[in-house]
A = this chain, B = another copy of it.
Amino acid sequence: MITQSIQDYLKVIYKLAVNRKQVNTNAIAERLGVTQASVTSMLKKLSELNLIEYKPYYGVELTGGGEKIALEIIRHHRLLELYLAEALGYSWDQVHEEAEKLEHHISEEFEDRMAAVLGDPDFDPHGAPIPSKDGVMQERYLVSLASVGAGARVQVKQVSDHNAELLRYLGKMGIYPEVEIDVLEKAPFGGPLHIRIAGREHHLGESLTNQIWVTPQPARDEPEATS
């Protein structure tokens, strides 16, 4: 039986693997809030179930089966987030916590009906791509707002969904997916970024701009590709 715990491990491993190449015990333990010892014993189990490729002291890789389960759960999570926002009027800082619990307990029927009501959406309220039923994601090439230089105009595409307080703060400033931002000034040594958005100006620290993902190129004044 695939327990909730197994699903959580696979989801975290998937997400870590997207960034780094080698996923280590440490990182999994930290993300899940359990001890390293717990992770080790669970990795053994996942390996026996053929959900991961596990080489002790090296790292972990999902097998086809493991990735399938991870993507199913991520699809559940992101569909739920959008459904809670659209159909039940949740604010975008509330949806993550609720989806985190429900993602493990909804049926395929529920998943399908939500998707139908929402018109088979591609992105959740924070701009994260929703994997399709057969495990394909609309991947995009985005950069963190922290890496953008002064003078650029970029478009917000995605924000981190973990921290409710952060989301409320972004909401107050009007920073949502699809909104355009002018980067006015960039303080040296990772200092605050001075931006303008919908006519209002703000200074944002690095721990904030690290969690905002934008289009890599300026959204305007870019020459069209010529054949």
Contacts and interface: CB of A to CB of B under 8 A. Distances in A.
Interface of A: 84, 87-90, 94, 97-98, 101-102, 104-107, 109-110, 113-114, 117
A171 B9 CA distance: 43
A52 B97 CA distance: 31
A102 B105 CA distance: 6
A109 B113 contact: no
Taken together, the copies of this chain in the complex come to 2
B88 A113 contact: yes
Nearest to A83: B88
Nearest to A87: B87
A221 to B, nearest CB: 44
A81 to B, nearest CB: 13
Contacts of A87: 87, 117
B102 A114 contact: no
A101 to B, nearest CB: 5
24 contacts: A84-B110, A87-B87, A87-B117, A88-B110, A88-B113, A88-B114, A88-B117, A89-B113, A90-B109, A90-B113, A94-B109, A97-B107, A98-B106, A98-B107, A98-B109, A98-B110, A101-B105, A101-B106, A101-B107, A102-B102, A102-B105, A102-B106, A104-B105, A105-B105
Nearest to A94: B109
A224 B106 CA distance: 49
